[in-house]
Amino acid sequence: MTKTAGVLYIVIAAVVLALSIGNFAGQFAAAGDVVNQFKEQDLSTTDLRWSMGIQFLVDIVVVAALAIVGWFLFGSETEQYGYVIATGLLLIGGVTIRLTPLVPITAARLSPTVFFYGTQVRVTFTADDTRAYVTLPESDQYLVGRLGEGLPEKQAAVLLDFHGDNQLKQAYWFGAWPATVIGSVSGTRTLVNRMQARNIFLVPRVKVYKVETAAGVGG
């Protein structure tokens, strides 16, 4: 069991690395195009890539930690029952939060590219702030929801990905506020404030599957 747990940790490390590279590759590539929109505000690709690079570095550290634990368990000569039990509990918990929207978006925000990737969330938005930001990369399938009034900008914004479902997008866009969205955390996207281009931050990306408003339910 210990060796199996070790292999599992190594596999998870490889999956996390692949997800992280996929998550940030498009954002890094889009930096140059976005900078061209902010020439008057003296925004540089370095500003953008530095903000993204810090989070990517965190992911690499997590990958390294998972790989080290996996290698330790795989090479262990004695059964490490504590690690095996902890691994089993983590697997049960990981599957549960990916099937049921139990995790609040405030918690999922802490690690949207690693621990909470794929987690189902149920989020209520009070308004839409899409026009206030440019996203990296840009897409007409992205909208930016605001969680509530009085929250700091970085804590209030969440990127919503409607992945080609225009009916779902319209249910959110034209429905009555507040709007509740059910979806899964799918990494991050970088936001640049249109009025203050040096205000750059990463937010969770939520792939939307259902929208509930006072006007009805979509999805």
Give the pLDDT mean for 1-18: 89
Residue with the larger pLDDT of the pair 147 and 83: 147
Confidence of residue 1 (pLDDT cuts 50, 70, 90): confident
- Render pLDDT for 112-135 as a digit per residue (tens, 0 to 9): 988 899 999 999 999 999 999 999
pTM: 0.88
* Predicted confidence (pLDDT) per residue in 33-45, tens digit: 888 878 777 777 8
Is the pLDDT at 216 greater than 70? The verdict is: no
Answer whether 184's CB lies under 8 Å from 141's CB: no
Taking phi first (over 0 means left), then psi (-120 to 50 degrees means alpha), and beta for anything else, what does residue 150 get?
Answer: left
Does the pLDDT of residue 47 top 90, yes or no? no
Would the pLDDT of 26 be above 70? Answer: yes
Widest CA span in the chain: 63
Q: Give the pLDDT score at 217.
A: 64
Confidence of residue 97 (pLDDT cuts 50, 70, 90): very high
Higher pLDDT, 219 or 108: 108
